[in-house]
Amino acid sequence: MAGTYQLNQHPARPTARPIPIVLGLPVPEPCGSCGVRHMSLCHAVEDKDLARLVDLATTDTIRPGRVFIQEHDPAIEFFNVTSGTARLFKLLPDGRRQITGFAGPGHFLGLAVGPSYSFSAEAVDDMKVCRFPRPKMVRLLHDFPAVEHRLLEVAAGELAAAQEQMLLLGRKTARERVASFLLARAAPPIPCGPTETRLHLPMSRSDIADYLGLTIETVSRTLTRLKADRLIELHGPSEVELLDTCQLNAIAGAEFAV
Amino acid sequence: MAGTYQLNQHPARPTARPIPIVLGLPVPEPCGSCGVRHMSLCHAVEDKDLARLVDLATTDTIRPGRVFIQEHDPAIEFFNVTSGTARLFKLLPDGRRQITGFAGPGHFLGLAVGPSYSFSAEAVDDMKVCRFPRPKMVRLLHDFPAVEHRLLEVAAGELAAAQEQMLLLGRKTARERVASFLLARAAPPIPCGPTETRLHLPMSRSDIADYLGLTIETVSRTLTRLKADRLIELHGPSEVELLDTCQLNAIAGAEFAV
DNA sequence: TGGGGAAATTGATCCATCTCAAGGCAGGAA
DNA sequence: TTCCTGCCTTGAGATGGATCAATTTCCCCA
């Protein structure tokens, strides 16, 4: 349980480079195929080396609700999310669930410590992923230290996010948790100010509850209260508009709120 | 918030190699000096290369209560704990604290993503640490991919531990949290059975409470109840004896309890 | 366009944990 | 030794969020 790791100045999750338009020519675009352009690993390698990375991958679509990573199963694959969202979670023997995160486009997952996965992953909505066989991935990481370096940066970012989530789960009130969640969904982070921001929440109330350590009812009531306080507006269950990010930041407990 | 990362079959936190006794000769023992032998990084490098690692380090002792890493401060150093224990924590503006982990001998910390630390660290008891200047460390990681590889393994282990802690904070009862905490302190993990295990807890009730997302009083009451149920014995506030690890595992919600 | 089932909201009550408060104990200073 | 201070334990009462229980809304599909 030690700290996070700093390696250089790159942001943890840079926005993916746009796929270059190649004027209709069928030029090999290794980073573009299989959505690899969207992997943050991508810009760690030169294009000629990336071709090898792409060769490893097979694409796959996943229907909502399908569990594609099962905790304790042998970790034989590594996934890159191309589109859609997955929920990552752990279960207690009696069925209580904690969602440890949501993985959207660009996220990669499945490289566990030890021989088996330490969490399960299930599609929230329709997903597209690339699958990489583990042994090949391990060899590739060995051959390209730059990729491994990038992976360490990403892991360090995840670790910082995990610590932030521990603070939320251990010490924040329901109102603070929901405010934090909404602001975190608005990437890039909105510091403060009356910017109108509209969010789409692909996950259900049940998912949000299990992510925030609350119940469905508390999440719903808290959203209703935030609406009554004119901090947010609800356009159906999965569209949220942030009306006062300044106040929301203050509620969320952001260090640099006002 | 994506998953954890698997790179090979090594355990996440191997027990440190013993420092070889060199029969009193003042032979250079690079891995041994500055407690580097206790770094899990150590066995990733050959001894001649380790000499360079050791050259970077300066040793330091830290008094109980001293904050030696401050959240948001520029991350200019990297620490390796040689002896003693540190608490790693994050604060909310109003002073609420979440301890995200305890770092004992062999743990290294401080390599944050981005330019500043994402958490604070404070000595629980008397500590000895090695300090590594960040720029030199970055260069060293670049020169020795094996060290970086090892660091990624460690980070992956931390990430799995963080997910486990999220499950605890989000979904476990006070009794389950305390049982989980006690079992986790007993490294290596005790699966089940009536083994008599004695634990030393260097941290205060307040630390335990802030680590488990509870109050001091609840921690104390819960320990008292576990004692009344003959699952543990208390020999003073900081000595705990586990009487029935089997049942404790079941309470903690271990997947493979009985 | 309307019907049906799942998801979300809302309400009433309960309870695990927090809060407030009062001792108890152990270790250090004089 | 005795006081003193800080931590820990124990008790009594308060409460935020959980639980139980209806509706209501959404949205998919005929």
Bridge partners of B123? B86
Task: Name the nucleotide with the smallest C1'–CA separation from A216.
Answer: C8
* pLDDT tier, A34 (very low <50, low <70, confident <90, very high otherwise): low
* pLDDT tier, A20 (very low <50, low <70, confident <90, very high otherwise): very low
pLDDT tens for residues B157-181?
999 999 999 999 999 999 999 999 9
- Give the pLDDT confidence score for residue B98 in this predicted structure: 98
Task: Please check whether strand D approaches the CB of A206 to within 7 Å.
Answer: no
Region A232-253 average pLDDT:
96
Residues A160 and A12: beta-carbon distance below 8 Å: yes
Task: Provide the total of helices (H) and of strands (E) in chain A, helices listed first.
Answer: 7, 11
To test the contact with chain A by mutation, choose from B8, B76, B152 the residue with the greatest count of A C-beta atoms within 10 A, namely B152
- Give the pLDDT confidence score for residue A15 in this predicted structure: 31
Domains present along chain B, CATH in parentheses: 33-167 (2.60.120.10), 172-252 (1.10.10.10)
- Give the pLDDT confidence score for residue B47 in this predicted structure: 66
Question: Dihedral through CA B167, CA A39, CA B109, CA B166, nearest 10?
Answer: -10
- Give the pLDDT confidence score for residue B67 in this predicted structure: 96
**Residue B169 CA to C29 C1' — how many Å?**
41
Whether the predicted pLDDT of A199 surpasses 80: yes
Amino acid at B171: R
Q: Does A192 touch chain B (CB under 8 A)?
A: no
How far CA B51 is from CA of B48, B82, B90, B204, B222, in Å, comes to 5, 17, 35, 38, 48
- Give the pLDDT confidence score for residue B46 in this predicted structure: 66
To test the contact with chain B by mutation, choose from A5, A72, A141, A203 the residue with the greatest count of B C-beta atoms within 10 A, namely A5
Question: What does the mean pLDDT of chain A come to?
Answer: 82
pLDDT tens for residues B54-103?
777 888 999 999 999 999 999 999 998 989 999 999 999 999 999 999 99
Report residues of chain B scoring pLDDT below 50.
Answer: 1-32, 257-258
Bridge partners of B90? B98
| Structure-model confidence comparison of residues A42 and A25, the more confident one | A42
Task: Please check whether strand D approaches the CB of B219 to within 7 Å.
Answer: yes
* pLDDT tier, A258 (very low <50, low <70, confident <90, very high otherwise): very low
- Give the pLDDT confidence score for residue B146 in this predicted structure: 87
- Give the pLDDT confidence score for residue A90 in this predicted structure: 98
| Structure-model confidence comparison of residues A110 and B251, the more confident one | B251
Please give the structure tokens belonging to residue A26: 């069928």
Region A37-52 average pLDDT:
64
- Give the pLDDT confidence score for residue B234 in this predicted structure: 96
| Structure-model confidence comparison of residues A215 and A2, the more confident one | A215
If we measure between CA atoms, which residue out of B109, B87, B110, B107 comes closest to residue B99? B87
- Give the pLDDT confidence score for residue A38 in this predicted structure: 54
- Report helix angle A174-185 to A145-171, nearest 10: 150
**Residue A117 CA to C17 C1' — how many Å?**
33
If we measure between CA atoms, which residue out of A81, A87, A82, A118 comes closest to residue A102? A87
- What is the number of other CB atoms lying within 10 angstroms of the CB of residue A114? 19
Long-range contacts of B15-19 (CB under 8 A, 24+ apart): B15/B188, B16/B40, B16/B42, B16/B105, B16/B106, B17/B42, B17/B43
Strand ranges (DSSP E) for chain B?
A: 58-62, 67-69, 77-83, 86-91, 97-103, 108-109, 120-123, 127-133, 197-200, 232-234, 239-242
**Residue A39 CA to D1 C1' — how many Å?**
72
- Give the pLDDT confidence score for residue B100 in this predicted structure: 98
If we measure between CA atoms, which residue out of B56, B149, B116 comes closest to residue A3? B116
